A and B are shown apart, each in its own frame.
Chain A
Amino acid sequence: MFEYLIRRLVMMIPVLLGVLFITFLLMFVIPGDPITNMMGQRANDEVIERIRKDLHLDDPWYIQFFNYIGRTLRGDLGQSFVTHRPVAVEILEKLPNTARLAISTMIVASIMGILIGILAAVFHNTWIDRTVMVFALIFISTPVFWFGLILIYIFSITLGWLPISGMGDGSIKYLILPAITLGTRSSAFLARMTRSTMLEVIRQDFIRTARSKGLSQKIVIFKHALKNAMIPIITILGLDFASYLNGSVLTETIFGWPGFGRYVVQAINKRDFQVIAGSVMIGAIIFVVANLLVDLSYGFLDPRIRYD
Chain B
Amino acid sequence: MENTNVLDVKMEKGRSLWYDSWQRLKKNPTAMFGLFLIIFLGFVAIFAPLLAPYDPNKISLRENVDPPSRAHWFGTDYYGRDILSRIIYGSRISMTVGFVVQFITLVIGVTLGAVAGYFGGKVDMLIMRFTDVIMSFPGLLLIIAMRVALGPGLFNVFIALSVVGWTGKARLVRSQVLAIREQDFVEAARALGVKTHRIIIRHILPNCIAPMIVSVTMGIAGAIMSEAGLSFLGLGVQKPIPSWGSIINEGLQYIRVAPWYTLFPGFAIALTVLGFNLLGDGLRDALDPRLKH
Contacts and interface: CB of A to CB of B under 8 A. Distances in A.
Chain A bound to chain B: yes
B232 A268 contact: no
Nearest to A200: B293
Interface string A11-27: 00011101100110010
B259 A253 contact: no
Interface string A80-100: 000000000000000000000
B221 interface: yes
Interface in A154-213: 157, 196, 199-200
**Dominant secondary structure of chain B at its interface with chain A:** helix
A184 to B, nearest CB: 13
Among A31, A149, A196, find the residue whose CB has the most chain B CB atoms closer than 10 A: A149
Interface residues of A, number: 46
A259 interface: no
Interface stretch (A71-79, A108-116, A283-291): A283-291
A134 B30 CA distance: 9
B138 A143 contact: no
Contacts of B132: 15, 18
Contacts of A268: 141, 144-145, 148
B124 interface: no
Contacts of B149: 26, 29-31
A216 interface: no
Interface residues of B, number: 44
A287 B141 CA distance: 14
Given A30-B148, A31-B151, A268-B148, A145 B270 contact: no
A146 B148 CA distance: 23
Interface stretch (A45-53, A224-232, A242-250): A242-250
A15 B133 contact: yes
Given A30-B149, A249-B140, A268-B148, A199 B293 contact: yes
**Dominant secondary structure of chain A at its interface with chain B:** helix
Given A145-B248, A146-B248, A247 B138 contact: yes
A29 B146 CA distance: 9
A305 interface: no
A122 interface: no
A138 interface: yes
B273 interface: yes
B106 to A, nearest CB: 21
B232 to A, nearest CB: 5
Contacts of B144: 249, 265, 268
Contacts of A134: 30
Interface of B: 30, 129-130, 132-141, 144-146, 148-149, 151, 221, 225, 228-229, 232-233, 245, 248, 252, 255-256, 259, 262-263, 266, 269-271, 273-274, 277-278, 281, 291, 293
List the 6 closest pairs (A to B, CB-CB), nearest first. Answer: A18-B133, A146-B266, A141-B274, A141-B273, A246-B138, A30-B149
18 contacts: A15-B136, A19-B133, A19-B137, A31-B149, A137-B281, A141-B271, A141-B273, A142-B266, A143-B228, A143-B273, A157-B255, A250-B232, A261-B141, A264-B138, A265-B233, A283-B138, A284-B136, A284-B137
